[in-house]
Amino acid sequence: MKWILAALFFGALFSAYAEKPNVIVFMADDMGYADAGFTGATDILTPNLDRLAQSGVVFKQGYANHAFCGPSRAAFLSGRYQHRFGFETNPAYDPANPLAGIDVGEKLFPARMQDAGYVTGCIGKWHLGAAEDFHPNNRGFDYFYGFLGGGHDYFKIDLSKPVKEGYLQGLVRNKRPADFEGYLTTALSRDAVRFVQDNKDNPFFLFVSYNAPHQPLQAPKEDLDRYSHIDDKKRRAYAAMIDVMDRGIGEVMQALEENGLRENTLVFFTSDNGGPQPSKTSPKGGNASKNGPFRGGKGNFYDGGVHVPFIASWPAKIKGGITYDYPVIAIDIARTAVAVAGGEALSVPAMEGVDLVPYLSGEEKGAPHEALFWRGGDGKNWSVLASNGDKYLLDPKSKQPQMYHLPDDVSERNDILAAHPERAMELFKLWEEWNEANVACRLLGYKDYHGKRSEFYESAVPERAKQSGYSPEARRNF
**127 is annotated as an active-site residue:** yes
Q: How far apart are the first and last CA of the chain?
A: 77
- Measured CA to CA, the distance from residue 154 to residue 189 in angstroms comes to 13
- Measured in whole angstroms, the distance separating CA 350 from the mean position of its chain's CA atoms is 20
* CB contact set of 112 (below 8 Å; sequence gap of 6+): 140, 338, 341, 343, 344, 345, 347, 351
The answer to whether 65 and 330 have CB atoms below 8 angstroms apart is yes
Strand pairing category for 390-394 and 401-405: antiparallel
Give the DSSP H/E element, type plus range, for residue 204: strand 204-209
For residue 366, CA distances in Å to 64, 79, 215, 413 come to 21, 22, 39, 28
**69 is annotated as an active-site residue:** yes
One-letter amino acid at 90 equals N
Active-site residue (options: 83, 127, 214, 450): 127
- In a 3-state reduction of DSSP, which class is residue 75? helix
The answer to whether 281 and 315 have CB atoms below 8 angstroms apart is no
* CB contact set of 92 (below 8 Å; sequence gap of 6+): 100, 165, 444, 445, 446, 449, 450
* CB contact set of 466 (below 8 Å; sequence gap of 6+): 458
Residue 184's nearest CA partner among 160, 144, 216, 230 is 216
Phi and psi at residue 185, to the nearest 5°: -60, -40
One-letter amino acid at 102 equals I
Phi and psi at residue 143, to the nearest 5°: -135, 135
Residue 307's nearest CA partner among 66, 55, 61 is 61
Instruction: Provide the 10 A C-beta neighbour count for residue 394.
Output: 20
Q: Where are the beta strands (DSSP E) in 352-446?
A: 371-376, 381-386, 390-394, 401-405
- Measured CA to CA, the distance from residue 84 to residue 438 in angstroms comes to 5
- Measured CA to CA, the distance from residue 344 to residue 352 in angstroms comes to 12
Active-site residue (options: 69, 83, 135, 307): 69
- Measured in whole angstroms, the distance separating CA 447 from the mean position of its chain's CA atoms is 22
Residue 22's nearest CA partner among 111, 101, 121, 96 is 121
DSSP 4-17: HHHHHHHHHHHHHH
C-alpha neighbours within 13 Å on the C-beta side of residue 4: 1
- In a 3-state reduction of DSSP, which class is residue 298? coil
Q: What residues are annotated to the active site?
A: 69, 127
